[in-house]
Structure 1
Amino acid sequence: MAKHVYCRHRTEIEVPFFDVDAMHIVWHGHYVKYLEIARCAFLAEIGYDYNEMGRQGYSWPVVQLNLKYVKPARFGQKIYVDLAVVEIDSCLRIDYTISDAVSGQKLTKASTTQVAVALENGEMQFQTPASWLAAVKHYTGFQALDAALSPF
């Protein structure tokens, strides 16, 4: 069964010189930064960036990160970081594909999981806050889960 995608977002990045090694390929650790850049662009677009999360009383630490490197990105290459939000109720789970902006060739696949943690007491929330759900559901590209397709 395919994952439901609630919404998608695309960010374009040009690989800077300071992200590459002596072979002019991106050092593996910088891919995490590219995911964060894309995630921050998406969150800013829906009006629920990290500052707003804090104002709402929550931090959202990454609790899981997965990366699969397919082909290296190189200095000066324009890449797309496409994200797909695949879970919104119990956590924020995003799947990513990093690809060459010209050819469309896939370079990296990744996913992150973040959970809401109440700032007042440090407790992890087992459901995402209503403020987050409201923000993501008002995003232009939001696609609600069809109740008839839900496995529950």
Structure 2
Amino acid sequence: MSSKSLKSRIQLKVRFNECDPLQIVWHGNYLKYFEDGREDFCIQHGISYLDMKEYDLATPIIKSNCEHKLPLQYGDTFEVETSFHPVDAAKLVFTYKIFKDDKLVCIGETTQVFLNESQELVLIAPPFFLDWKKKMDLI
């Protein structure tokens, strides 16, 4: 498998409703920031959730982790860097880095699998996904 990875970067701002009473971002919201980064990545690189739906597939997250380095606070502007890491298995692996003023705030990773319309696990990478990986020079 290729060692190449694709990336995207999106800028976001901490909203009031994402903070606890101390105006620090509640830890669960970092997974939402990962989702914002992942959705932006997929749109930029031509493999959106709508593409999955077109092929009657869902891609639920089966694993996620998040390691906090520094807190974000209400009003902070920050960037989410999302990287796709190709693997041989029929799954999507993304890593995330959140930066504020070039300081690393948080790192994380998610893994998604493919489910068909009957909600059964798809064990072989769907043809459109393999075509996309070829187009992106990942295989």
TM over 0.5: yes
Task: Deviation per CA, 1:63-94: give whole Å up to 9, x if none.
Answer: 00011111111111111110111134421001
Aligned length: 137
Match of 2:129 among 129, 132, 138: 132
User: SS of the residue aligned with 2:80?
Assistant: strand
- Length-normalised TM-score, structure 1: 0.82
What residue is the counterpart of 1:47 in the other structure? 46
Maintained 8 Å contact 1:80/1:98:
yes
Residues 1-152 of structure 1 aligned to structure 2 (within 5 Å) = 4-90=3-89, 91-100=91-100, 103-119=101-117, 121-138=118-135, 142=136, 144=138
Check 1:113–1:26 CA distance in 2 against 1; reply closer, same or farther (3 A cut). same
- Length-normalised TM-score, structure 2: 0.89
Maintained 8 Å contact 1:7/1:143:
no
User: SS of the residue aligned with 1:118?
Assistant: coil
Q: Structure 2, unaligned stretches of length 5 or more?
A: none
Maintained 8 Å contact 1:88/1:133:
no
Maintained 8 Å contact 1:94/1:113:
yes
What residue is the counterpart of 1:148 in the other structure? none
Alpha-carbon distance in structure 1 between the residues aligned to 2:5 and 2:127: 16
Alpha-carbon distance in structure 1 between the residues aligned to 2:67 and 2:7: 20
User: SS of the residue aligned with 1:84?
Assistant: strand
Shift of 1:136: 4.5
Maintained 8 Å contact 1:5/1:85:
no
Q: Which letter does structure 1 place at the counterpart of 2:130?
A: L
User: SS of the residue aligned with 2:85?
Assistant: strand
Shift of 1:5: 4.1
Check 1:55–1:135 CA distance in 2 against 1; reply closer, same or farther (3 A cut). same
Query: RMSD value over aligned CA atoms?
Result: 1.8
Q: Structure 1, unaligned stretches of length 5 or more?
A: 146-152
Alpha-carbon distance in structure 2 between the residues aligned to 1:76 and 1:111: 25
Shift of 1:134: 2.5
Alpha-carbon distance in structure 1 between the residues aligned to 2:137 and 2:132: 13
